[in-house]
Amino acid sequence: MNSSGKGARVVVTGLGPVSPIGIGKEAFFHALKTGVNGTVPLSKIDTQRFERKYGCEVKGTIAEWVADFDAFAESGTPSHFALAATGLALADAGIERAAIAGKRVNCYFGTTYGESNLIDDMVTAMAQSQPGRHASLGRTFASEISRDVARSIGSTGEAVTIGNACSASNAALIFGYEAIQAGDCELAICGGSDAVYKATFATFHRLGSMTDKDCTPFNAGRKGVLTSEGGSALVLESYERAIRRGAHIYAEVLGFAMNCDADHMVRLNHHSVGDCMKAALANACVPPGTVGYICAHGTGTAANDSNEYKAIEAVFGHSPPPVSSIKSMMGHSMGAAAGFGAIACMLALSEGLPPTINVSEQDPEIPIDVVCEGFRAGKVDVVINNAFAFGGNNSILVFGNLK
Positions marked active-site: 166, 297, 332
Query: Exposed, middle or buried: residue 348 (CB in 10 Å: 0-12, 13-18, 19+)?
Result: buried
Residues in the chain: 403
- Alpha-carbon gap, residue 340 to 34, rounded angstroms: 16
Pair 154, 102: CB distance under 8 Å: yes
- Alpha-carbon gap, residue 340 to 286, rounded angstroms: 23
The DSSP-derived string for 143-199 is: HHHHHHHHHHHT--S-EEEE--GGGHHHHHHHHHHHHHHTTS-SEEEEEEEE---HH
Instruction: Please report, for the chain, how many H helices and E strands are present, in that order.
Output: 12, 15
68 DSSP 8-state letter? T
- Name the nearest CA neighbour of 256 among 181, 157, 349, 184: 181
Tell me the C-alpha to C-alpha distance, in Å, between residue 368 and each of 20, 278, 355.
Answer: 28, 18, 14
Angle at which helices 168-181 and 337-350 cross, to 10°: 70
- Alpha-carbon gap, residue 171 to 387, rounded angstroms: 9
C-alpha angle 288-292-295 in degrees, rounded to nearest 5? 100
Adjacent-strand bridge partners of 398: 255, 384
Q: How far is CA 303 from the centre of its chain?
A: 21
- Alpha-carbon gap, residue 178 to 276, rounded angstroms: 17
- Alpha-carbon gap, residue 358 to 226, rounded angstroms: 13
Query: Exposed, middle or buried: residue 324 (CB in 10 Å: 0-12, 13-18, 19+)?
Result: buried
- Alpha-carbon gap, residue 296 to 311, rounded angstroms: 11
